[in-house]
A and B are shown apart, each in its own frame.
Chain A
């Protein structure tokens, strides 16, 4: 099996875990697609160094040969599978009651100020704050 075939199976596996096995359905949520591009930027950066500096070397026969920021395009999918599987398990555990809290942002003065300003603005505009 080539890396190309393996990574397609890997992405399919991660999607099955998210949608069917753990039913976290992260790929249907806005918050996942808002976070993923941020993670992706850092993936491209770190992966670019690993492959550009030839710390990791790929067999040309195992990949398509299409490269993005030095890295084989397959690595993008590999990273997606790692991130989706991780977050799916993380959310699944929270849903099952494993350390659901303290929630993200609890106790952050910075976020409190940000959200206070945002709700003040939306109140002025006549739009209610999102739940």
Chain B
């Protein structure tokens, strides 16, 4: 179970935000194309940053607490998924906030 530690953190993030879709009908997952086009560039930019940081030795990952599935450049799969999960959660939270406050966000 210990090697799933990072996976559990990602699952926890999703659990904290995904309920907004059915309960507040934020319609983020429903706008799949827009979501995909938003997440993709963020994933690319921050995976590149991560690879640079790993190469520079800024941070490393505990092999005992990750699945061991590695992407090229020494990037654990979970770390790449982090840059999918966090943007999705951020958009869900943002859209929920604007739905409650009914304030303009610039795309009306």
Q: Please indicate whether A and B come from the same complex rather than being unrelated chains.
A: yes
Measured CA separation A34–B106 after assembly (Å): 15
Measured CA separation A13–B8 after assembly (Å): 31
Q: Which residue of A lies closest to B12 (CB)?
A: A46
Looking at chain B's contact residues, is the secondary structure mostly helix, strand, loop, or mixed?
A: helix
Is B58 a contact of A29 with CB atoms below 8 Å? Answer: no
Q: How far is the CB of B23 from chain A (nearest CB, A)?
A: 7
**A: number of interface residues (CB 8 Å):** 60
A-B contact pairs, 25 of them (CB 8 A): A3-B59, A25-B106, A26-B105, A29-B104, A31-B97, A32-B94, A32-B105, A34-B103, A35-B98, A38-B97, A46-B13, A50-B9, A55-B66, A56-B59, A56-B61, A56-B62, A57-B61, A59-B59, A79-B86, A85-B45, A90-B38, A91-B106, A95-B107, A104-B26, A115-B102
List the 7 closest pairs (A to B, CB-CB), nearest first. A94-B107, A105-B99, A108-B25, A104-B95, A35-B97, A104-B99, A99-B31
